[in-house]
């Protein structure tokens, strides 16, 4: 064992020059062969001519179709009257582009150009073993075309939408650029990072599907794209909300209450307790949240579902004082999601004391609508259990980007699952 380790170290130490040079020359070779198929994409504000967003993209057809992220060109989709797309070809010339198809859920977009070329990537699914070396290309911080080495680490386990876990430094500006296998095949599209070399790629399959759709139909009017985004969001929420509270019915006991948890497999849950000596009460918390969200615009995300329970109890406060505390915590409990006024209407709320067998709750439902997407709402359901003198449960369910019937159904499922474990 000792010998083996020593050997490994030795190998590592003396492997040096030749192997390293070989590796870097492989990277250099990839860059030499494919750099001219990767482009810089800019979104320009029409009035001022200033660039609002810089991202990357790559050529995917002989007709010059570019693939990039939806989040790179979202402004053009949301405000076609104010923004336009331009891109830089291999010679550094600025050329106009036009968004013809988007997949908002997978964060992909196709841009057409009037620049037919023979320098393009052919897209096909590639099976990869974990640990495969990948090369990601793009324009980090608009600093010029860059190649980054990294490792393929499989698909994310808890993600609602398939995403490749890429271990390598992807930075802002590289979004929309390709990630290549050593063979030079595109395996994914750079999309996001969690920092410290933890980065994510969109697998190539949805990009292939979107591209074939874009090539098959004539380019749509700008307004149609917006409607398309709305339809995709609606369709997507139907699909991912369907299993909530249906496939699993797990409950967790918090103090004297039984509350719903982990409404579906793609939720992640945490818990914590707040007990301090000088504090006159105790609080126990439990939260669940989806990991994924759908980027809509700089100020607006969709598709986030969170559950939050907080049990507050006190043996040191009299009922009136305890309820002053309970009420304050109810007020402070989070719920409103950040959003720009340009994207969302204000909330409208309704409060009632609701009685169910064995339990009385003060229930609140709030709605606001996506201004650009009819039929899509954010909903906040909050409740506080009434009737106990020294303990209470504050709970909330937050849904973003859902249809009204789904919001109603989930509010019902959620509120129905709040129970006393004992009285």
Partner 1 sequence: MILEVVDGRGRVLHRHRLAALPVTVGRAYDCDVILDDPYVDPRHLTIGVDQDAWYAEDNGSANGTWRGGARLERIPIVSGIEIRAGRTTLRFLDPTHPVPAALADRRGGSPASRSFADPTTGLLIVAAAMTAYGLSMFLDSTTSLKPAGVASSIVAMLLIASLWAGAWALATRMAAGRLRFVSHLAWASVFIVAFIAANSAGQWVGFFFPGFRGLSSIQLLLMTGLLTCLLAGHLWLATEMSSRRRWRVAITTSLLALGVVSLFTLTEAATDASDSLSFARVLKPVSAGLVPTSSLDDFLSSTERLRAAVDELAAKAEREEAAAGAKTPEEAGVGQPVHGDVAPQAARR
Minimum distance of partner 1 from residue 397's CB (angstroms): 13
Residues whose CB is less than 8 angstroms from the CB of residue 223 and which lie 6 or more positions away in sequence, other chains included: 80
Q: What are phi and psi of 243, to 5 degrees?
A: -80, -10
In contact, 274 and 256? CB cutoff 8 Å: no
Single out the residue of 188, 322, 400, 402 in contact with partner 1 (rule: CB under 8 A).
322
Q: Does 293 bind partner 1 (CB under 8 A)?
A: no
85 to 114: interface string for partner 1, x by CB under 8 A = -x-----xxxxx------------------
Q: Which is nearer to partner 1, 79 or 133 (CB)?
A: 79
Q: Which is nearer to partner 1, 185 or 371 (CB)?
A: 371
Question: What secondary structure letter does DSSP report for 37?
Answer: G
- By CB under 8 A, the residues from 384 to 403 that bind partner 1 are 384, 386-387, 389, 392
Calculated CA dihedral for residues 123, 127, 131, 137, nearest 10 degrees: 0
| Burial (0-12, 13-18, 19+ Cβ within 10 Å), 405 | exposed
Q: Which is nearer to partner 1, 16 or 92 (CB)?
A: 92
Q: Does 244 bind partner 1 (CB under 8 A)?
A: no
Question: For residues 224-235, b (16+ Cβ closer than 10 Å) or e, as one string?
Answer: ebbebbbebbbe
Q: Does 277 bind partner 1 (CB under 8 A)?
A: no
Please state the length of the chain.
423
d(CA 333, CA 22): 57
Q: Which is nearer to partner 1, 162 or 335 (CB)?
A: 335
Minimum distance of partner 1 from residue 345's CB (angstroms): 4
Q: Does 70 bind partner 1 (CB under 8 A)?
A: no
Minimum distance of partner 1 from residue 413's CB (angstroms): 11
Single out the residue of 359, 397, 399, 402 in contact with partner 1 (rule: CB under 8 A).
359
Partners of 365 in the β-ladder: 350, 381
- By CB under 8 A, the residues from 25 to 54 that bind partner 1 are 46-47, 49
Q: Does 265 bind partner 1 (CB under 8 A)?
A: no
Q: Which is nearer to partner 1, 212 or 351 (CB)?
A: 351
Q: What are phi and psi of 127, to 5 degrees?
A: -75, 135
Minimum distance of partner 1 from residue 283's CB (angstroms): 12
- DSSP secondary structure string, 242-301? TTTTTT---EEEETTEEEE---STTEEEEEEEEE-TT-S-EEEEEEEEES--EEEETTEE
Q: Does 280 bind partner 1 (CB under 8 A)?
A: yes
Q: Does 127 bind partner 1 (CB under 8 A)?
A: no
Partners of 401 in the β-ladder: none
- By CB under 8 A, the residues from 301 to 320 that bind partner 1 are 316-320
Determine how many CB atoms are found less than 10 A away from the CB of residue 1: 5
Single out the residue of 337, 397, 399, 402 in contact with partner 1 (rule: CB under 8 A).
337
Single out the residue of 164, 363, 393, 402 in contact with partner 1 (rule: CB under 8 A).
363
Minimum distance of partner 1 from residue 112's CB (angstroms): 15
Size of the site for partner 1 (CB under 8 A): 78
């Amino acid at each position: 064992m000792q010998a083996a380790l020593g050997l490994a170290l030795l190998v590592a130490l003396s492997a040096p020059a030749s192997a390293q040079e070989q590796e870097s020359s492989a990277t250099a070779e990839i860059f030499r062969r494919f750099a001219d198929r990767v482009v810089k994409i800019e979104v320009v504000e029409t009035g001022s001519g200033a660039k609002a967003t810089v991202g990357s993209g790559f050529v995917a057809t002989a007709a010059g179709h570019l693939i990039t992220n939806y989040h790179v060109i979202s402004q053009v989709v949301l405000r076609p009257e104010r923004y336009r797309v331009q891109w830089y070809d291999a010679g550094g010339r600025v050329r106009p582009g036009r968004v013809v198809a988007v997949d908002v859920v997978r964060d992909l977009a196709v841009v057409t150009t009037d620049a037919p070329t023979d320098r393009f990537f052919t897209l096909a699914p590639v099976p990869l073993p974990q640990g495969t070396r990948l090369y990601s290309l793009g324009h980090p911080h608009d600093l010029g075309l860059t190649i980054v080495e990294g490792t393929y680490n499989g698909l994310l386990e808890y993600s609602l939408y398939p995403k490749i876990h890429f271990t390598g430094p992807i930075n802002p500006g590289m979004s929309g650029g390709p990630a290549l296998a050593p063979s030079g095949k595109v395996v994914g599209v750079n999309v996001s990072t969690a920092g410290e070399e933890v980065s994510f790629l969109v697998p190539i399959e949805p990009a292939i599907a979107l591209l074939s759709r874009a090539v098959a139909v004539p380019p749509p009017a700008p307004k149609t794209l917006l409607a398309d985004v709305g339809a995709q969001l609606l369709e997507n929420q139907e699909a991912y909300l369907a299993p909530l509270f249906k496939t699993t019915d797990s409950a967790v006991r918090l103090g004297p209450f039984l509350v719903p948890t982990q409404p579906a497999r793609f939720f992640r849950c945490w818990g914590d307790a707040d007990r301090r000596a000088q504090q006159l009460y105790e609080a126990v918390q439990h939260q669940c949240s989806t990991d994924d969200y759908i980027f809509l615009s700089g100020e607006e995300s969709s598709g986030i579902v969170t559950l939050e329970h907080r049990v507050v109890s006190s043996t040191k406060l009299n009922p009136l004082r305890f309820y002053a505390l309970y009420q304050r915590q109810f007020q402070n409990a989070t719920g409103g999601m950040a959003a720009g006024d340009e994207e969302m209407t204000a909330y409208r709320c309704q409060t009632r004391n609701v009685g169910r067998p064995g339990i009385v709750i003060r229930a609140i439902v709030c709605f606001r609508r996506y201004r650009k997407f009819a039929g899509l709402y954010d909903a906040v359901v909050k409740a506080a259990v009434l009737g106990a003198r020294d303990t209470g449960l504050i709970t909330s369910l937050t849904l973003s980007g859902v249809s009204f019937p789904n919001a109603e159904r989930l509010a019902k499922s959620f509120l129905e699952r709040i129970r006393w474990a004992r009285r």
